[in-house]
Every structure is written in C-alpha cells, then in structure tokens.
Amino acid sequence: MKNSHRVVVTGIGVVTPVGIGKDDFWESLLAGKNGISRISLFDPSEYRTHMAGEIRDFAVQEWMDSRLAKRMDRFAQFGFVAADLAMKDSGLDTDSFDACRAGVIIGSGIGGMQTIEAAHAALLERGPRAVGPLVVSKTLINAAACAVSITHGLKGPLSAPSVACSTGANAIGDAYRILERGDADIMLAGGAEASISPLPFASFCATRAMSTRNDDVTRASRPFDKDRDGFVMGEGAGVVVLEQLNHAFKRKAPIYAEVVGYGNTADAYHLTAPEPDGDGMVRVMEQALRDAGMTATDIGYVNAHGTSTILNDRTESAAILKVFGDHARELKVSSIKSMIGHLLAAAGAVEFAATALSMSTGLIPPTMNHEQPEPGCLLDFVIHGAESIDLDAAMSQSFGFGGGNACLVVKKYEPSQETRRT
C-alpha cells in the first residue's frame, strides 16, 4: 500500500559538459549544443578513443572554498558544486528547516581515480612517505555526500550508492523512498563522476564499447542511429532536492515535478552486456509504472538511457516497445547523451534533472546525430530540435554495468485540496 507522503522536485543542480547550473544546461540542451571534444586532461594520442565530454575550464575556486576543494578529488568537487547549486535553486536556507530531517545520497561509480593515479605515481617515484593522509578520504565513493553533509550540517540519512551507470537514478530512487515513508523532509540526491583519466579511460577503450569516430568528435555520440559505433565518455554531476510536498508547500518552494514511481531490478546476466531479451529493462519499467499507479498510456515521454552502443540501444528499444505496445507510436523518446556523452554514475541524475525540466517546461531536448534509423530501434525519437509537448507524465531510465536497472516516473505537479488549504 502506497504511503501518503507525496514527494516533489524543488531544486536542480548540474555540472555538465554543456553547462554548469540548471539554466545554462537546459538552454544548451534545447539548442542542441554539443559538449564533446578532443581530450585535454591528458594526451589521448595512443588511445583508441580521443574524445570525451569534459567539463572545460572548471575553475573550482569560483564555485567553492579553495581550501575545501584541495581536500577533494575532481568527482567530489563536481558533486559538491551540483549539490550547492541545487540547494540555492530550491531556496533552501539551512536555518529554516530541521537539519536532522535533511539527508544526502550522492553516489559514484569509480570515485577518486585521479587522486589514486597521482598517489600511485608518487609512491613508485618517491616511496611511501610521498603519499599524503588525504588519499583515502579523497578517493572514497562517499566523499561528495559526506562533504555536502558536513558543510551544510545535514544530519539526516547519509548514503553513497555505487551501481555503475544507474547510480544517480538509484540515489534519487532511494531518496524518494526515504521521503515517501516519512523518514526525512528533505533529501539531496544524485551522482558524480570524473573518469576521464588515463587508467579508467584505457580500460574502457579495451572494452571496445567506446566510439572511435576521432575525426568527427561532435557527431560521435549518436544514440539509436544506424551508424553508431559506441558511447562517448563524459564527466560531471547531477543533484536534485527532493522534498515532502507539505514541507515544500509551506516554505513556498519551486516545484518542477512530482516523483511518483521507482523501479530497481537486476539482469543477473553479465558484467558488461545487457540481457539479450531486455527482461530486466522491461521489468524495471513495469515496476516503476506499478509503483506510480499508472499504465503505459499515461507516459508521454521517455528520457532514454540511449548510450550509442550497438547492444544497449537495440535492447532498450525492444524493451520500450514491449512495455508500451501500441502506445509506443505516440511516445516521445530522446537521449541527451548525444550532447553530453555518458556521465557514467552521474548520468541517471543529470538525465532525471532534464526529465524534471521537461515536465515543468513542456519541452523535450533532442537526440542529436540521429540521421539513419536502424530497423531494431524504431521509436518516435525527437531528432530535429527540441519539441514542445503537453506532458502529464514522463519516465527516466538508467541501465548499468553489472546488470543494474533503475527507472523513475515523474508527473506534472497538481496541488491537492489539502495543500491548497495549508
């Protein structure tokens, strides 16, 4: 039986290859701006893939205290900044709510890899005395979540999931559950990743899952297109403020959308490949719809995982067709990875943020570089620029290495009689 606590999105903070902050990010997506370029963080010449979605010119001292930044890896800096932006967007004043009922769930997949690489090089070159005491705290998956909790004095639930590419969506889903059952009033939730670093990048190249369209980098990420040849790695963070509706209503917070459904399943199949028949994807979408009390025909838009890999896009398309049936012909689908790349653990959170913005604006960002449809990926993809739609409910889904699947359903916020009287 569904708990009575309604949950809404009241703040959005993002750090992405096409913009830092909700407004720059959203304007860039709607304009079809591409954030993919040749890697500058290291020399990629000897790698199979030369491009990625970098956060260019990230002057961290402009966004956070420089002393705190020095104690954090790049991924945690991204997560901290995204959380700070989300709190400001929500109008949260730490003196105006119960800190013991405000929590943080910000996950990561790979964590502080840049710190690990630098510390290992120092160890090999100069010995153990060259390794500083902050290496451990900078590399922990929970570094961003803890920094946000400590800095803002948030004493409620604290967690940092690590479920590969579904991490950000899982974090938001877990936060939704906490609020729904009444264990907190406010939750900051999302994911952060900064894996454009020699070691993880080399390993991803070795999987041969990344695009090698090195002579045409802005057209390399092409979800669901017949000529796709792999994903493009990105980096960044997405954090949203989720809040119990009554709490948000009392403080007159902005409301982007209402979260109404969450699904979480496992393929139990393979460490990197999706289950061929897409059963896990199908079950997670159906689970999220049941949780929302909706049927497939209630959904107007799916913000797809859409990685641009051969297997994922084909399997995801088949799963959507199976779940939505005839309604799939009326369903709008897009993947923003075509513009920002695959942000790995941060992808689900950033894409959920985009979905919430679609709910509040009625605009759907396009899937760029989709030029030739593949027979196995025949859906109504938004491809010729952003589209305006009368949207009542939408779905955001993420699928990760190891077979983790997460799906979130949001709907347009409508005040109840109770909130109107409050």
User: pLDDT per residue over 113-134, tens digit each?
Assistant: 999 999 999 999 999 999 999 9
- CB-facing half-sphere around the CA of 307: CA atoms within 13 A: 30
Q: How far apart are CA 84 and CA 351, in angstroms?
A: 18
Contact yes or no for 242/172 (Cβ under 8 A): yes
pLDDT in tens, 363-383: 999 999 999 988 888 899 999
86 versus 417: which is more confidently predicted? Answer: 86
In the predicted model, what is the mean pLDDT of the chain?
Answer: 95
Is the per-residue pLDDT at 420 higher than 60?
A: no
pLDDT tens, 287-332?
Answer: 999 999 999 999 999 999 999 999 999 999 999 999 999 999 899 9
Q: What is the pLDDT of residue 275?
A: 87
Query: Which domains are assigned to the chain?
Result: 7-250 (3.40.47.10), 262-412 (3.40.47.10)
Q: What pLDDT does residue 356 have? A: 98
388 forms beta bridges with 363
**Res 421 pLDDT > 70:** no
Q: For the whole prediction, is pTM greater than 0.75?
A: yes
Answer whether residue 1 shows pLDDT above 50: no
User: What local confidence, expressed as pLDDT, does residue 57 receive?
Assistant: 84
Positions annotated as catalytic residues are 165, 305, 342
Q: State how far the Cα of 383 lies from the Cα of 385, in Å rounded to an integer.
A: 6
Specify the long-range contacts of residues 414-421, CB closer than 8 Å, at least 24 apart. Answer: 414/258, 415/249, 416/6, 418/246, 419/245, 419/246, 419/249
Report the share of the chain in percent with pLDDT over 90. Answer: 91
CA distance 191 to 131: 28
Q: What is the pLDDT of residue 418?
A: 53
pLDDT on residue 273 = 84
- β 7-16/257-266 pair status: antiparallel
Band (419; pLDDT cuts 50, 70, 90) = low
* DSSP-assigned states of every residue in 271-326: SSSPPTT-HHHHHHHHHHHHHHT--GGG--EEE----S-HHHHHHHHHHHHHHHGG
pLDDT (tens digit per residue) in 132-176: 999 999 999 999 999 999 999 999 999 999 999 999 999 999 999
Q: What is the rounded average pLDDT of the residues 237-265? A: 97
- pLDDT score of 133: 94
**DSSP SS3 for 201:** helix
- For the ranges 57-61, 101-105, 354-358, the lowest mean pLDDT is seen at 57-61
For position 217, what pLDDT does the model report? 98
Rounded CA-CA distance 161/167 in Å is: 6
CA quadruple 255, 146, 72, 111: dihedral, nearest 10: -90
